[in-house]
Amino acid sequence: MATATAPRTADDEAYQRTFDAAVAADERIEPRDWMPDAYRATLVRQIAQHAHSEIIGMQPEANWITRAPSLRRKAILMAKVQDEAGHGLYLYSAAETLGVGRDELLDKLHSGRQKYSSIFNYPTLTWADVGAIGWLVDGAAITNQVPLCRCSYGPYARAMVRVCKEESFHQRQGYELLLALSRGTPGQHAMAQDAVDRWWWPSLMMFGPPDDESAHSAQSTAWKIKRHSNDELRQRFVDICVPQAKSLGLTLPDPDLRWNEERGHHDFGPIDWTEFKEVIKGNGPCNEERITQRRRAHDEGAWVREAAAAHAAKHSGTAAAHTGGRTEKEVGQA
């Protein structure tokens, strides 16, 4: 990536004006368009973090695939975790359009130089956690991601359209799973309530720090990468969840939660930002396990990727000498 310190030329000034005008007019910036280095870097950081969150996020749910309590639930859960791998693929591809390859990004994830959503550092202790993740975590993710479908960077916006469609299925299956538990035996109902009690506050933290402490918000908003503030989105999410919790027959673990007629929104209690910061720093319940499993899968798979690359190189007339980025069809034709 170009350094930010190079002196600006008259051409740069003209490019900058074209870029600014496109953003102002709500046009999409495309991979071959000129863009400021900092815009590119911000997108790479955000898209990479999003992609990493998809693949790390497979772990807490995959934890329950082998124990899913009915074949229908097992099929739904496998399809969901598969979707997450697919989202990872689209998003790494979107990052590639900015000139960064998947291997480089994975390396940064594995070495701790890039982050993933902190929510996945919490454990899935019971089957109901699968439902709570769908309802609350995917619900929060959709609230964050729907505005990204209008993000100024074209490939990211387009990837998000598809991701959001699938996420909305994920959210619904989580709600439906919790509903079945809530209406089930007393043991099942208790399991659902316990999961919601544990996932509610971490879900609210998914919107990031309060607006006055958010490091990247102002510039991202100016570039139309970000469309709404953290606190606005958090409020929207709370307002959506309160009636849904009621329909589920479950309570949200916040004694301060109540409708505020004047604001036209629900008030809610203070968020424990100390916990948030600790989990981001690496002190959450599963930070170590998540990254260790990811590194292990990558390291243990190295010989497979090397074999595929060696085979492709020997037959480079008929197949791409590259293990990543194959479609199923291409595998069949290799």
Partner 1 sequence: MTATVPVTAALALGDDALVLSHRLGEWMGHAPVLEEEVALANIALDLLGQARVLLSMAGDEDELAYLREERAFSNLQLVEQPNGDFAHTIARQLYFSTYQHLLYAELAAGDGPFAALAAKAVKETAYHRDHAEQWTLRLGDGTDLSHQRMRTACTALWRFTGEMFQPVEGLGTDLGALRTGWLEAVGAVLRRAGLPVPEGAQSGAWTAGAGRQGLHTEPFGRMLAEMQHLHRSHPGASW
Provide the binding-site residues for partner 1, judged by CB under 8 A. Answer: 55, 58-59, 62, 65-75, 78-79, 81-82, 85-86, 88-89, 92, 102, 127, 177, 180-181, 184-185, 187-188, 293, 296-298, 300-312, 314, 323-326, 328, 331-332, 334
Q: Identify which of residues 187 and 264 has a Cβ nearer to partner 1 in the complex.
A: 187
CB of 77 to partner 1, least distance (A): 9
CB of 304 to partner 1, least distance (A): 4
CB of 207 to partner 1, least distance (A): 26
Asked if 152 and 31 count as a contact pair (C-beta separation under 8 A), the reply is no
CB of 298 to partner 1, least distance (A): 8
Report the DSSP beta bridge partners of residue 258: 267
Q: Identify which of residues 172 and 227 has a Cβ nearer to partner 1 in the complex.
A: 172
Spatial distance between the Cα atoms of 97 and 90, rounded to a whole number of angstroms: 11
Q: Identify which of residues 244 and 323 has a Cβ nearer to partner 1 in the complex.
A: 323
What's at 20, amino acid-wise? Answer: D
CB of 178 to partner 1, least distance (A): 11
Q: Identify which of residues 65 and 271 has a Cβ nearer to partner 1 in the complex.
A: 65
Q: Output the CA–CA distances (angstroms, integers) from residue 158 to 51, 66, 227, in the order listed.
A: 14, 34, 16
Q: Identify which of residues 41 and 190 has a Cβ nearer to partner 1 in the complex.
A: 190
Helices (H), the chain: 10-24, 37-56, 58-62, 71-96, 102-110, 128-132, 138-145, 154-182, 186-205, 217-222, 230-248, 273-278, 287-300, 302-314, 328-333
Our CA angle for 135, 141, 143, nearest 5°, is: 95
Q: Identify which of residues 57 and 208 has a Cβ nearer to partner 1 in the complex.
A: 57
Q: Identify which of residues 13 and 300 has a Cβ nearer to partner 1 in the complex.
A: 300
CB of 192 to partner 1, least distance (A): 12
Spatial distance between the Cα atoms of 174 and 260, rounded to a whole number of angstroms: 28
Q: Identify which of residues 88 and 155 has a Cβ nearer to partner 1 in the complex.
A: 88
Spatial distance between the Cα atoms of 49 and 51, rounded to a whole number of angstroms: 6
Spatial distance between the Cα atoms of 244 and 164, rounded to a whole number of angstroms: 20
CB of 184 to partner 1, least distance (A): 6
Kindly state the tokens that stand for 227: 């469309």
Q: Output the CA–CA distances (angstroms, integers) from residue 149 to 79, 144, 152, 158, 300, in the order listed.
A: 23, 10, 9, 6, 36
CB of 193 to partner 1, least distance (A): 16
Kindly state the tokens that stand for 34: 């000129």
